[in-house]
Structure 1
């Protein structure tokens, strides 16, 4: 569970940075582009990926992740602008249903009744943790499509990373290196399009912002993959603990750093999330 905890910490820090980015009018596409430059450098520095036997690489999985990762950043920003933070948050958190379903249909995982109870409690925690009565704003016509992309995209990314972690012909660090390169290329194309259409300008501070984002983004994905390798026979444990853990950590950061207020329902959600993590962990061992 240590890898899951480390991944949760990195994920929450990335979320905090994106929240601050909106406040300080940071160009998300430009920051995401530099984020992948740093992620590529860190992967090469720490793991020295061997670019051999690439003919056996899962091309479709790598290509899908290379496009989904940067594009989903942009979709998330658009979804927040058109539908509000609350609706987008719901779509992100409920995407947990997709990898859990994949645990049964794709990975053929056997779940005990105790773990099923933990998952159900976790779903209840997710629903209770959402600030139903605050924020969100009015959704514009057709904006539901962005929520659908967020929901499906987040779930598919989780499943694809699980499959990369279990792929034996190519080391997962090499796969990760290739994914980061493809993601950078995709983000670069998006940035060039915005630059040519004069919707953004090159800004040196974005290199620093993207660099910090890349370091934590690298840690998030790396530890997430390691958790899947350690708990290869229990993908739903990783899926559920990761998502619920982010909620708990995010709530604490919101209270301490951003002085956010919690309703009674939100407090119940935090308690249920902690209970769910305990039940799922106990059932796993």
Structure 2
């Protein structure tokens, strides 16, 4: 369980760093680019992928994933900045419903009544968690970010699942290729802002990006180690990770950043945990 705990801490720390970026005037785009450089270097150290497998031509899905990751990272940062850690983390974790729906409509998987109940409760939880009486157009528009986080992470999860089934290339090598593509995409976007918008590259953004990359990679590394350590109980890892991030993220957002959470939002958080638990139990029953 120590790996699950470390993965949860790394995941929430990424959200905290993105939240603090605005306070200390960190350029998120630059930090995101250096974040992927750190991920590439750490992949070499921990995964030790074969050079030959990395040099192969990436598939269409790999390229799409490599583009989506840095773009969604920027959306995630905007969501944390505009509506806070609590609601952004929940939107990210509830994105698991998209791959579940994909399993039903794309892969033809049969759903139990418990899983259907979990989906219904989950969608209600999304509405209640993000609900807030809005006083202006800008605030209403800001709620587009968690919606994009919800959809984006769900699509990325589906792509990751499809890539994991490809046996020609080890999954760790595929992940390394994805990081390389993401780094290039982020660099292209950054070069555009430097040339067109005359933005300056600052050393502080490099330092923050490396720190961000370490925690981002740590989240992936410890999550994989948790699955290996509890190979016979994948549902345990899945449930503990998602519920842990929601609980810890909510506590950090409310206590550390004084984020406003209404009674309706608290009901939504509770329902989000219930939804993840229902879906996890339905998965465990299906495995048996």
What TM-score results when the alignment is normalised by the length of structure 1? 0.79
Aligned to 2:35: 35
Cα distance in 2, alignment partners of residues 109 and 43 from structure 1 = 33
Question: In structure 2, what is the equivalent of residue 124 of structure 1?
Answer: 124
Say which SS state the counterpart of residue 217 (structure 1) adopts.
helix
Offset at residue 11 of structure 1 (A): 2.3
Q: CA 1:235–1:128 in 2, change beyond 3 Å: closer, same or farther?
A: farther
TM-score by length of 2: 0.78
Which residue does 1:274 correspond to in 2? Answer: 273
Query: What secondary structure sits across from 2:51 in the alignment?
Result: coil
Contact residue 158 and residue 239 of structure 1 kept, 8 A: no
For the aligned residue pairs, the C-alpha RMSD in angstroms reads 4.0
What is the CA–CA distance in structure 2 between the aligned matches of 1:259 and 1:128, rounded to whole Å? 19
Cα 1:245/1:103, change in 2 over 3 Å: farther
Deviation at 1:254, TM superposition (A): 1.2
Indicate the residue corresponding to 1:187 in structure 2: 186
Cα distance, 1:55–1:203 mapped onto 2, change above 3 Å: closer
Asked if the contact 2:86/2:249 (under 8 Å) is kept, the reply is no
**Larger relative helix fraction:** 2
In the other structure, the counterpart of 1:104 is 104
Q: Which stretch of structure 1 is more off in the superposition, 139-148 or 219-228?
A: 139-148
Q: What does residue 159 of structure 1 align with?
A: 158
Alpha-carbon contact 2:238-2:280 (below 8 Å) kept: no
Aligned residues: 284
2:213 is matched with which residue? 214
Deviations for 1:83-121, whole angstroms, at most 9, x for unmatched residues? 999998897677544322212133433332122222322
Alignment of 1:229-240 (within 5 A): none
Matching of residue 247 in structure 1 with residue 242 in structure 2: no
Structure 2: 5+ residue stretches without partners? none
Post-superposition CA distance 1:158-177 (Å, at most 9, x none): 21112222322211111111
- 2:91 touches 2:147 (CA, 8 Å); kept in 1? yes
Q: Which moved more, 1:158-167 or 1:168-177?
A: 158-167
In structure 1, runs of 5+ residues without a counterpart are: none
Q: Is the 8 A contact 1:103 1:236 kept in 2?
A: no
Q: How does 1:133-148 map to 2 (within 5 A)?
A: 133=133, 137-139=136-138
Contact persistence 2:97–2:119 (CA under 8 A): no
Matching residue of 1:174: 173
Distance 1:35 1:170 in 2: 24
Provide closer, same or farther for how the CA distance between residues 105 and 147 of structure 1 changes in structure 2, counting only shifts above 3 A: same
- Structure 1 SS opposite 2:11: helix
Q: Is the 8 A contact 1:7 1:224 kept in 2?
A: yes
Distance apart, 1:267 and its partner CA: 1.9
Residue 52 of structure 1: SS of its match in structure 2? helix
Q: Whole-Å Cα distance in 2 between the matches of residues 273 and 187 of structure 1?
A: 32
Change (3 A) 1:245 1:133: farther
More off after superposition, 243-252 vs 22-31: 243-252
